[in-house]
Amino acid sequence: MKKNIGFLGLGKLGLPCALAINDRGFNVCGYDIDLSVKDILKDRKLPYREKGAQELLDKHTIQWGSIEELVKRSDIIFVPIQTPHHPDYEGVTRLPSERVDFDYNWLKSGVKNLSDEVARQGEDKIVIIISTVLPGTVRREVKPLLCDNIKLCYNPFFIAMGTTIKDFTDPEFVLFGVDDEEGKMTPIKDEVNVSESNSDVSFDFRNHSIASDFVNKPLIITKVEQNLNTTYNVGVYRDEKGRYRSIKDYRTMHTGQTLV
């Protein structure tokens, strides 16, 4: 039986991904604080450029609903809420000397409202954070907001605006973490899998951070080496000056440079 999927957030990440999941036959219900998204679903006209999205929007069956309706209708709820950077880090001008973290207020507010509704309804729900945040951020900023009925998963999407659907359905790799001591939640990633990638990295996010995985414990590199048929992937190597560099082409890992 197909799962009923919810999306708390239907912006430029959430809506294309919701359309892709809906196109694979899943029942999808969505909500966004920007009510103009409701009109996009109703009028079937996308106001921005996203490859492949308009074709899926033309035939979608996504249902709009309140947070209450979203929780009631969904077995699994994706949360793709924005975590914007500070205006000084727009990517054009020189980086300021003072470092500023991303703004997690939108994400925290949405998760808190979702958690309150899940607690009110009293049924367990699987919630998957797909916003681009680090595992430590989820542990520090998100997990304290959750009620006992939420089973938390971490699955950040590494996509580019304009090719979200392609990057979602054909990712270079999939990073998936669970907050689950007994490992009962891990199979969830296969239940709504629309990806053709055979390069997955799974871990318990409570005890990991992406930084430590990339630099100190090469979990991702180990996983790359287990997928010899995968052309594109992610890893880290040291260059001739001992600096850490990220790479995504598996073949470049065999150039004689020392892997971390």
Residue 44 has pLDDT above 70, yes or no: yes
What whole-number distance in Å separates Cα of residue 46 and Cα of residue 127?
27
Residues 123 and 213 in one domain: no
Residues 13 and 120 in one domain: yes
pLDDT top residue among 136 and 108: 108
Contacts 24+ apart (CB under 8 A), 54-59: 56/16, 56/19, 56/20, 56/22, 56/23, 56/165, 57/19, 59/23
Q: What is the pLDDT of residue 154?
A: 84
Q: What is the pLDDT of residue 56?
A: 97
Q: What is the pLDDT of residue 51?
A: 94
Residues 113 and 27 in one domain: yes
Residues 195 and 71 in one domain: yes
For residue range 126-177, what is the model confidence (pLDDT) as tens digits? 999 998 888 888 888 999 999 999 998 888 888 888 999 998 888 777 777 7
- Residue 236, classed as helix, strand or coil, is strand
| 170 contacts 198 by C-beta, under 8 angstroms | no
Residue 200 has pLDDT above 60, yes or no: no
Residue 12 has pLDDT above 90, yes or no: yes
Q: By C-alpha distance, which of 113, 123, 190 is closest to 145?
A: 113
Residues 11 and 118 in one domain: yes
Residues 65 and 158 in one domain: yes
Residues 83 and 69 in one domain: yes
| 83 contacts 104 by C-beta, under 8 angstroms | yes
